A and B are shown apart, each in its own frame.
Chain A
């Protein structure tokens, strides 16, 4: 659906990373973990296109005035990377923006009787909080959060509050272990004695490594991808990614916005 949303708050949670809370229409409460929204940061023609953002959380907002009616709201966790996100970070509570969503296919939560291993890199944590919130209702959940420095490790307290056990690794050692978070993931997989599945979102290199680990340990792995997209509804075909059968001679492209953004890791062509 397409709707005008009112910003409830917009806060810098770590240098360069922002968390925005926005109102949503009733139907939005049905948004699934892993789905995303396309946001128009202003009504001018620069920036021209909407920007895609993962849905960080879906909650209920009760306006602070007498007789107020509860309504759904949602949150986005975003990083300022260019003109569009810089403009978004300049917006304030009560500003209105145009939103399209929830869009795409989210995560499949899988069977309850297995351990859920969530892997997030930097702003890749954005779609993973709502996922963790759903998963803790049925399973044991562990989060592996990685980043270059401590500034890239976001909202860990929120995950801990859900009862998720969190492992943190930074490349410069400024928070948690020094190194890549995939090392902690591998350690966990070596010691685990029950069924498990992996859910990951982050930079392509990290997802590629996680997909490789999942294959090595023969456990199901879902990844949430990013893509340059204009429309978010499967029309522009800008955001395609190679599928596992992809070769230049026999192309196999998947549309990130409409067929994803969540894919089974083994459906994708990682070497392409």
Chain B
């Protein structure tokens, strides 16, 4: 019998728990040639700001063993161009599109949330309070529970759509951050964003990235991500979207056991553009093979 792959995140019903992570999937259309977008649970668009952002100078990315560092600097088209040029495509796809966004002040976050709330093609909002690559904003909100509470509260007031908050791992106590977001009215939490890292070119005696530091992602970060998802899932009663180095269905199912209701696939999409679709299919095959009737029964089912 076909297993039940559906999950529910804050009232949003997904055909399966596999989403694509913000910043790794463009605005969806870039991947339409390679992925059947109607075989994945949802996709998250590149982080949006009020004004277009050009991002950082190059080099912006570098590979390291089992991972990569990026310092793109949140290059994006801005909300106006997003509505004019990217939203029409979202209308053509029968899969929830989640808009990731960020601001520099609580007011900016709230304005973006308000404007995105008015777009029927957007199924949910993901608040990015955790980008490590921009100097002001972003990370400031993501490392201080009080700031996080304020920014999430401001967004909550202006939207009735599911509100997901994306958490940074670059904190001492991720549970305190998660709790602050829950208290402010978040509907779900996604974690983890990238870890701040750097790479050095010995011969040139210079950092490899023009930005010096960047966000570390890929399979190398999975153990840290699993630990944080497990910690947050035990402490906070909100659905969790697990992110961090997911390359295959085994990785994805481990996050679900640790307490995630859904997962996001990020860096893997760079290597295999159809990674998310493949992972969803492999997960279903695993459930069949192991006589598990519903993926729901695995959420937080870790025995320890």
Contacts and interface: CB of A to CB of B under 8 A. Distances in A.
Interface in A38-86: 40, 45-50
A238 interface: yes
A233 B274 contact: no
Contact of A235 (B62, B270, B272): B270
B65 interface: yes
A251 interface: yes
A248 to B, nearest CB: 9
Interface residues of A, number: 28
A240 B273 contact: no
Nearest to B58: A240
B54 A251 contact: yes
Contacts of B34: 2, 233
Interface string A83-120: 00000000000000010100000000000000000000
29 contacts: A2-B272, A2-B274, A45-B66, A47-B63, A48-B63, A48-B65, A48-B66, A48-B68, A49-B271, A50-B271, A228-B60, A228-B62, A230-B70, A230-B267, A230-B270, A236-B70, A236-B72, A236-B270, A237-B72, A237-B75, A238-B58, A238-B59, A238-B70, A238-B72, A241-B58, A253-B54, A253-B55, A253-B75, A258-B30
A100 B272 CA distance: 9
Which 4 residue pairs spanning A and B have beta carbons closest together? Answer: A251-B54, A238-B61, A230-B270, A231-B270
Interface in B45-61: 54-55, 58-61
Dominant SS at the A interface? loop
Contacts of B25: 235
Given A2-B272, A240-B60, A258-B30, 14 more contacts: A45-B247, A48-B63, A48-B218, A227-B58, A228-B58, A228-B60, A233-B30, A235-B24, A236-B23, A236-B270, A238-B60, A239-B60, A252-B54, A253-B54
B269 interface: yes
B272 to A, nearest CB: 7
Best-surrounded residue of A228, A234, A241 (most CB of chain B within 10 A): A228
Interface of B: 23-26, 30-31, 34, 54-55, 58-63, 65-68, 70, 72, 75, 218-220, 247, 267, 269-274
B133 to A, nearest CB: 12
A239 B270 CA distance: 13
